[in-house]
């Protein structure tokens, strides 16, 4: 599970999933069985070992009260992954959404909204499943008809709405373009323009985007690379 707080990634992983190569990239490694959590330690890229649900909630409480600007990412390694995730979800009202990376002739469709490059996405309507919502949202926001080719990943991010703590779950799908003759940015959603980019162009363009969107694109690239290696 990966949650974005203020666009910084907060990962929850099983302890046995961590490799030696991964742990070498952290600025701080803190064993919560041996050390008491200190707010001043929330800087750079942090790995917490032996994380409990209580410890995870404590960290979230600290960063939501006053987000440490020096904090870049948090990874929590735990033997109780499901319990930690459920306790975190219980802090919020969960809203479900879905979106997609639309592909045509090897190019990806990106949209420019509120001065940021983004991907089409939106909340599920009543009675919809995630794939149905992705198809509808893509067509509403871009005018493009698509078909779902496969799932990419799931992201979570937090925000506050009317004093309510919201945790939005977004399922992302790889979609093939069926018809883009009615390509048109949805003005009601403040979408200013739509453009097709090659993968190399998208990498540059998405510098002006959100970490969560770059995570989706990186996940797709890894999937494609894995398929090429198997071929």
Task: Give pLDDT tens digits for 24-55.
Answer: 889 999 999 998 888 888 999 999 999 999 99
CA-CA distance, 8 to 68, in Å (whole number)?
11
Which structural domain range is residue 49 located in?
Answer: 2-89
189 and 224 co-located in one domain: yes
Domain end, chosen from 70, 89, 108, is at 89
Residue 80, exposed/middle/buried by CB under 10 A (0-12, 13-18, 19+)? Answer: middle
Task: List pLDDT tens digits, range 125-163.
Answer: 999 999 999 999 999 999 999 999 999 999 999 988 888
For residue 4, count other CB atoms closer than 10 A to its CB.
20
pTM: 0.91
43 and 82 co-located in one domain: yes
pLDDT at 65 over 90: no
Residue 162, exposed/middle/buried by CB under 10 A (0-12, 13-18, 19+)? Answer: exposed
* Three-class DSSP category at 198: coil
Under 8 Å CB-to-CB from 153, ≥6 apart: which residues?
Answer: 172, 215, 216, 219, 220
127 and 149 co-located in one domain: yes
Rg (CA), the chain: 19
Task: List pLDDT tens digits, range 97-130.
Answer: 999 999 999 999 999 999 999 999 999 999 999 9
82 and 104 co-located in one domain: no
Number of domains in the chain: 2
145 and 225 co-located in one domain: yes
CA angle, 13 as apex, 156 and 32 as ends, to 5°? 110
């Amino acid at each position: 599970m990966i949650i974005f707080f203020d666009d910084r990634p907060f990962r929850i992983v099983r302890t046995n999933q961590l490799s030696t190569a991964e742990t070498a990239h952290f600025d701080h490694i803190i064993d919560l069985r041996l050390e008491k959590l200190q707010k001043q330690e929330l800087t750079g890229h942090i790995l917490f070992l032996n994380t409990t649900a209580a410890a995870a909630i404590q960290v979230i409480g600290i960063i939501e009260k006053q987000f440490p600007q020096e904090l870049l990412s948090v990874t929590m390694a735990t033997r109780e992954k499901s319990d930690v995730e459920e306790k975190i979800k219980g802090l919020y009202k969960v809203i479900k959404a879905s979106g997609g990376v639309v592909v045509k002739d090897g190019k990806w469709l990106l949209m420019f909204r509120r001065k940021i490059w983004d991907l089409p996405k939106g909340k599920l309507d009543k009675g919809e499943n995630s794939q149905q919502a992705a198809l509808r949202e893509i067509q509403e926001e871009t005018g493009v008809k698509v078909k779902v080719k496969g799932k990419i990943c799931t992201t979570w991010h937090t925000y506050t709405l009317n004093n309510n703590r919201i945790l939005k779950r977004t399922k992302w799908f790889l979609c093939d373009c069926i018809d883009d003759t009615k390509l048109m940015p949805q003005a009601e959603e403040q979408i200013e323009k739509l453009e097709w980019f090659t993968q190399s162009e998208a990498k540059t363009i998405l510098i002006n985007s959100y970490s969560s969107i770059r995570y989706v694109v990186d996940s797709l690239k890894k999937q494609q690379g894995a398929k090429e290696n198997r071929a």
